[in-house]
Amino acid sequence: MRRAPASSALAAALACWAGQADALVFDYSADRPDELKACDALEFRGEKLPAGDCYAALRARNDDPRIRAEAAWSLSDLRGANTQFQAAIDAYPDDPRLRTRWGELFVAAHQDNEAVTLFQEALELDADYAPAKLGLASVSAGRFEDRARSWVDEALAIDDEQLRAHLLLAQMSLEIGNLDEADASLDRATSLAESQELPALEIYALRASADLLRGVTDSSWTARALQVNEGFGDIYAIPAHFYVITRRYREAIELYFEAVRVQPDLWAAHAELGVNLLRVNRLAEAKAHLELAYRGDPFSAIIVNTLRLIDSLDNFRDVTRMRNATVGAGMILRLHRDEADVLEPYVAALVDDGIRTFTERYAFELEEPVVVELYPEHDDFAVRTSGLPGIGLLGVTFGYLVAMDSPSGRTDNDFHWGTTLWHEMAHVFTLEATNHLVPRWFSEGVSVYEEWSTGPLPGRHIPLHVLQAMHEDKFLPVAELDSGFIRPSYEGQVMVSYMQAGLICQYIERRWGQDAFVAMLARYSAGDDTAAAIEQALEISPAAFDEGFEDFIAAEFATVLDGLEDWQGGLRSAYEAAGSSDWETALAAATEAVAGAPDYVDEGNAYLLKAKAHDELDQPDDAVATLERYRELGGHEADALRSLARRLDERGRRLEAIAVLEDLLGVVPLDTELHTELGDWLLAEDRPADALREYQAALAMNPLDQAAAHFRLATAYRQLEDSAKTREHLLYALEIAPHYREAQQLLLEIAR
């Protein structure tokens, strides 16, 4: 271990350690009291044992609860520190610095809401207390909120020489890929650290992070930091964070391993290592590091919840389908055992279709099996995605591993799990084809575009608030679009960015063709940023690209956007008329709303209201026609599709009715009645193999009428000419219901 020469700080620390500093007094004229700085000097240089004894002496002998709180905190006794801070607040209720430091303790204990309250209380005592503003900034930055920047700006307006503020600015700039701004912040931080004789280890770590984002993996800043303190694990852990932000999980794992190697008690790095090992399906290693992290940091909800998630995987079944010509490298489906028998054939078929489709469209062969996890508990899925910015609430892809809500994990009646899985499967290809170098906007854009063009649902689906943002000219330049995902500046911007990215990809395909996607992925794989990728692959400048995209949006949406307010007003009028049972008015207003935005089939659309008005006015054929158009455009509200299927069947249009029910499987596949009804229609149309799949799914859901479920299976096997299976299920049916007449008759028939 490298030892520093003796200094006044070290001498004071050693005196403290020897018990000669009992009378030291807390001095608020400095950022940190001299007696604590003395102990810090030992800690900073890696002198763990004497530093610990130094803090312990302060806690035991000093009469000031503020110093005892800081000493306990430095000894990692967060509960003891909390007790001392409470005592200090009782003694010094009007001190904003004390409340701010207590808030920072809560941040360290992952209690951000309590921390925010204390920072706000500090500002009530002193509205210009900059460290409290920085405390709020740090919490906002951890949540990837744009408000973080304004808090830092306010703090710097009060005091431009706050080292922590410039470090936070550098971190946020690096997170959105603005390396020049990060360099400027780090230059200012370096100057301040030198003038104030403050340690520069975090500056070194952020400079190493900037090097990493430039493609320099062997940064000189790493060596410089380890020369100062060979046990400084954050020199690896801080850069690893930026690998995670850019979805380069494998590289992040390597750095986190280095972090815990040089600093085994860096619990945050153990936690991040565990979470990221889980993302690449290394479950046993993930659990080991998370358990280590928990022993050192029992306050982290992420650690606790992720360990519980790993334990819950015992309730899942892994279904493996190995490499073959159809599914390439294969797939592993991780399904809850209560749902696996029902969902497996549908999930496997869609994954298989996705692999075949995207292998051809993106000229890339997968090298590993795709792991697909479906979570029936949304909270478990939320834990799986924790800590990532801009992640939607439906699915996430970590490379070869996809995690998403199971259909039972959502209460929405229109959650289309098939579209979500299709979206995530496209991510597998864009991430792996570029070794995860593809920027967020392009990967998301391709996935949204594939939803619209090749996915299970037809049509372009753009929510109303995105149309409003489009109308207000809130789209970002293409080179800045990643910031809309990582640090949104207004509510709903993440979804706006998803839709903008999808529309950009639609524009690219219309103007340059599908091959342009492959060319751009190749440029990203070579390390290009968005500006360079556009210039090289599309032979156009980013500015000219933005102009062309604006023209595309105007051509596609001018009519809708010009009449957006009138359309919204007409839609409100339609629903108000329906609420008053004025169906003539409702029908007229809904018809006009459909004409104003004919592609809009999402929440609050006019099609379902128009169909309802037709029914109320005794116009059933018009209602059916309206529902058919709704489905053609990708509308998928479950009750509407079920109604449409039955109406088509009543009109002798059985094959079309079957197609509607098959669409409905993408929304409510865990509906026993749906499988039974679809199976009956398929069997009647001489499709016994398909009917068998539906009857098996219905039986797997443990229906009340088990005898009827077995009888239906017997009829399907009978049509497939499988006498043994027919007999088997008839006997099951008769065992449950001995007087089941149809089963008795069929058994006699096959016996003859």
- Tell which wins on pLDDT, 134 or 27: 134
* Residues 38, 10: Cα–Cα separation, whole Å: 6
Which tokens belong to 423?
């979206």
Is the confidence at residue 521, as pLDDT, over 50?
Answer: yes
- Quickly name the fold that domain 563-665 has: 1.25.40
Domain boundaries, the chain: 318-556, 563-665, 671-752
DSSP 437: -
Q: What is the pLDDT of residues 550-582, one digit of tens each?
A: 999 999 999 899 999 999 999 999 999 999 999
Closest Cα partner for 210 from 175, 160, 168, 248? 175
Residues 59 and 18: beta-carbon distance below 8 Å: no
Average pLDDT over residues 672-676: 96
- Among 24-33, 142-151, 475-484, the least confident range: 24-33
Q: How confident is the model at residue 20 (pLDDT cuts 50, 70, 90)?
A: very low
Question: Residue 53: what pLDDT?
Answer: 76
- Quickly name the fold that domain 318-556 has: Neutral Protease; domain 2 (1.10.390)
Which helix H or strand E contains 319, and what residues bound it?
strand 316-321
Does pTM surpass 0.85?
yes
Average pLDDT over residues 409-432: 90
Is the confidence at residue 673, as pLDDT, over 50?
Answer: yes
CATH architecture of 671-752: Alpha Horseshoe (1.25)
Q: How confident is the model at residue 42 (pLDDT cuts 50, 70, 90)?
A: low
Average pLDDT over residues 27-41: 58
Residues 195 and 162: beta-carbon distance below 8 Å: no
Domains 563-665 and 671-752 share a fold: yes
* Residues 213, 200: Cα–Cα separation, whole Å: 20
Closest Cα partner for 66 from 40, 43, 42, 100? 100
CA 157, 158, 161, 167 torsion-angle sign: negative
Question: Residue 32: what pLDDT?
Answer: 65
Task: Please tell me whether residue 210 adopts helix, strand or coil conformation.
Answer: helix
* Residues 515, 518: Cα–Cα separation, whole Å: 5
Which tokens belong to 707?
């005898």
